[in-house]
Amino acid sequence: MSRKDNTSRSRKSGRKAKSVKTKPAAPAPMPGTNNGPAPVAVLSPERLQQVYSSMLKCRILQERVQEISAIGQSTLQENTARREAVLAGTLAHARREDSITSAENVFLTSFLCGDLLNSLLMQLFSNAAQPASNNEKISPAHLALARGMGQAKEMFDSGRVALVFCGEDPAALAFQTEALALAAKYKAPVVCLIETSLSSLETTRDRKRAKTRKPPQHHFPEIVVDGADVVAIFRVAQEAIRRARTGHGPSLIKCVMPDSAVAQPEDGTPESTRDPLAFMEHYLRGRNLWSAEWQRKIADDFTAEFETALASLAQPSHTLR
């Protein structure tokens, strides 16, 4: 995918896949996690269902934790932006030996990487009981990229990759650009993902056009993708991670997140598909890969798993108030 790609093209790219008629089946464990094999790059019907299953579980996880605890308005506040597509589409390519750093959505990132629910809940509740850190000098996005760059120094010629989710922090963009230009000089295996809005993206482009300063000596791909289209994210991340693994250096993926203020897409896509989960459901329906019964089974099974993990922590020291 080239730099000329935009969100409209990203959506369309997701719809060009060959229609495969097959009955929905229960998805296998998410590839690339501690419980599954190394990821397969092909977007087969089974892989599409696996990605949807991961997104659905992330959504349920967010909602359940917010329902049962006061941290729903603080610790998990960033997760309400419906970022399941960015995480699931990218982490589908992650391997156990890769470094994964996240400025936001740490809970969901760890879950998609295969961490056990009871361990995640225990850590989440423990963090909620501790006073919040007031480090205003360095933003989480700066810290995440700095850590990812540090990890990448140990990964040259290893086939390993440092994946960095910087979240949404417009003030950190200049730092990210400079850091990735340095990474490009040494061809460091880094893939950085940032979240932005369509309006912010246009503002950044206008500023770049207005500036007459000399462009950086070391270039790296900057790819724009629709943050609600997990199929497009999957494909973009696949190429960026492949480049990093084979020694071709870093990439920056700019995920344009759903914005209710944006007009309905010209291609006639239903407005509800700005929700990443609804968008993927719409995509699977068109390929006869989705059914209400299949979705309900995934939701019921995962809800039962969550309740079991929560019950195992039903002690005074773990109870949220």
Residue 265 three-state SS: coil
Tally of structural domains, the chain: 1
Is 2 part of any domain?
A: no
- The CATH number given to whatever domain includes residue 209 is 3.40.50.970
Is 263 part of any domain?
A: yes
For the chain of 321 residues, list the mean pLDDT of each consecutive stretch of 10.
43 42 40 43 87 96 81 47 88 95 90 93 76 66 93 93 92 86 94 88 59 65 94 96 96 84 47 79 96 97 95 63 39
**pLDDT reported for residue 82:** 75
**pLDDT reported for residue 72:** 46
| Residues near 197 by beta carbon (within 8 Å), at least 6 away in sequence | 256, 257, 259
Q: Give the domain range for residue 81.
A: 7-18+27-128+136-318
Is 253 part of any domain?
A: yes
| Whole-number CA gyration radius for the chain | 20
**pLDDT reported for residue 2:** 44
**pLDDT reported for residue 208:** 57
**pLDDT reported for residue 278:** 94
Q: Which residues of 209-244 are buried (b: 16+ CB within 10 A; e: fewer)?
A: eeeeeeeeeeebbebbbbbbbbbbbbbbbbbbbebb
Query: pTM of the predicted model, to two decimals?
Result: 0.76
d(CA 235, CA 10): 10
